[in-house]
Amino acid sequence: MISATPESWQLLKGSDDYFASLIENFQQAQKEIYLETYIFNFEAKGEQVGQALWACAFRGVRVRILVDGVGTPNIPNYWMARWQSAGVECRIFDPVSSGNIWFPSRWRRMHRKLCVIDRSIAYCGGINILDDWFDPKLNKMIQQPRLDYAVAIKGPLVKDIHRTMQQQWQRINIARNLKETQLQFTLEQLKKVNFKWRKNEGKHTHSTLILRDNLKHRNNIVHAYLHAIGTAKQEILIANAYFFPSEKILRAFKQAARRGIRIQLLLQGHYEYIVPYRATKHIYAQLMREGVEIWEYQSSYLHAKVAVIDGRWTTLGSSNLDPLSLLLAKEANVVIQDPIFANELKESLQACIQAGGVRIEPSTHLNRPWGQRWLDKICNDLLRLAILISGKRYR
């Protein structure tokens, strides 16, 4: 457990750390657990999390789980029946079929990874309930785990995270009830439901919850990054799984580099989806021309979405710097301003760069084969076309 200080954070690297911390606190839960995750996979150690949640509900703890309809299209029948028998409440956000996933309106996914236990401890990060040693595409264990992070939080910020998750759960239940009774409410009517949305105005001097959704928090994460990059004085270190920043963020990176700020980007070296991976490579050159260092993580899959700026400002969460996260999905990041925590995350990232990172040299990148250049451009154009089809402006 985290020590009971007024506000404290514990950096968790990978699912090994994250699952162990979750399960320990699940076992001590007395009243309620809220969990949101894009993916809930029951293979390997994911099964231990599922079992711990069942045990909590079985002994009377209220357990509410929200998963995404694309990341987790269904819960296995065995687990759903087992959970329901114990009283676990599980909802699937916006389930989709194989046909309607191609409609842009269905691209608005619930991508958050949050958890609150007894309103006393909260978690935020990029780690799904998916064992980092398991590859669901290959359906087998892998030799090196995904690189990812989460943070366990105690203090005033827990209240904000709990409120956010409780409101999301209420909205899901309203939508479910409307569907069951076949009532047609417009989005504007749904917005008028009596929820007391409250922006976190930075009253907690050390940490802040930053949301992105399609209602009242459309640009919060973008603005947080732009402000942090724009006011950087020394260095910027970012690890991001899907990196396809808007023109504003690209411009902020370039301006920071021209001010003499050292910028290091740790990006995917092994890809899960070829289009975003190759599209990102198409923008390498314009960043490297300004002196931005680009490293690709080769040890395994990189799934992290974290940043450290000037040895004090850090962010961890679910949001990539790409159009899906910044234009469409529901995301949640935590910003922590603390030099000790920032140094811990920075040291971990630097160790990953040294152990598994390969620096992309400008000369090598510019002289890559023509076939790779054309593939990069085609993927870049495809991604921009998808943005255009979505009807969103990504500038």
Catalytic-residue membership of 68:
no
Pairing of strands 89-93, 114-117: unpaired
Catalytic one among 13, 154, 305, 330? 305
CA distance 11 to 381: 37
Of the candidates 159, 310, 377, 392, the residue annotated as catalytic is 310
DSSP 95-118: ---TTGGGSGGGG--B---EEEET
Exactly one of 303, 322, 330, 346 is catalytic; which is it?
Answer: 303
In terms of Cβ atoms closer than 10 Å to its own Cβ (0-12, 13-18, 19+), residue 312 is middle
Helices 220-230 and 247-258, packing angle to 10 deg? 10
User: Can you say how many angstroms the Cα of residue 72 is from the centroid of all Cα atoms in its chain?
Assistant: 15
Residue 310 bears catalytic tag: yes
Assess contact for 155 and 6: CB atoms under 8 A.
Answer: yes
- Give the strand pairing for 140-141 and 149-154: unpaired
Count of C-beta atoms within a 10 Å radius of residue 232? 20
* Catalytic residue selected from 13, 17, 68, 111: 111
Residue 93 burial (CB count, 10 A): 23
Alpha helices in the chain (DSSP H): 14-28, 46-58, 77-86, 157-181, 187-191, 220-230, 247-258, 274-281, 284-288, 323, 339-356, 362-366, 370-390
In the residue annotation, 303 being an active-site residue is answered as yes
Asked about 305 being catalytic, the answer comes back as: yes
Please confirm, yes or no, whether 223 is among the known catalytic residues. no
Tokens linked to 373: 């250049």
**Cα distance between residue 267 and residue 192, in whole Å:** 41
Q: Is 12 exposed, middle or buried (0-12, 13-18, 19+ CB in 10 A)?
A: buried
> 113, 154, 162, 346: which one is catalytic?
113
| Other beta carbons less than 10 A from residue 23's beta carbon | 17
User: What does the alpha-carbon distance between residue 294 and residue 52 come to, in Å, rounded to a whole number?
Assistant: 40
Q: Which of 115, 156, 123, 349 is nearest to 236 (CA)?
A: 349
The helix (run of H) or strand (run of E) holding residue 123 is strand 121-125
Catalytic positions are 111, 113, 118, 303, 305, 310
